[in-house]
Amino acid sequence: MKSGTDLINEAKGRIRQVTAAEAQAIHARGGATFLDVRDLQEVNLGKIPGAVHISRGNVETKVEGVVPREAEVVVYCASGNRSAFVADVMQQMGYANASSLAGGIRGWAEAGGEIDG
């Protein structure tokens, strides 16, 4: 039997995680899709400028209609756990350039990243 922490750690071991500084550099150069997988009430408090929103529970059924498989994708949530699961699932779905923002939007904000309110 595995705990939730075990599952999160396994997912994080299979994906690429980017730091807030790396994510900010990716955002600044443009061309990447930032995918916010938080719940809508969280997104309403603020998001990374230009981010696309699909709640964690809807990713598997909606992502293909929103994000091309060949896109560079930085997935984020509040702290980096849900986004690790989503990046793992997206890789299984053929998204080779999907990564997770370590520390989530909290880490982004703490590193001085811009937030759209």
Catalytic site residues? Answer: 77
Phi-psi region of 58 (alpha: psi -120 to 50; beta: other; left: phi over 0): alpha
d(CA 117, CA 109) in angstroms, rounded, equals 12
d(CA 29, CA 78) in angstroms, rounded, equals 23
Dihedral, CA of residue 18, residue 20, residue 26 and residue 28, to nearest 10? 180
The tokens of 43 are what?
């997104």
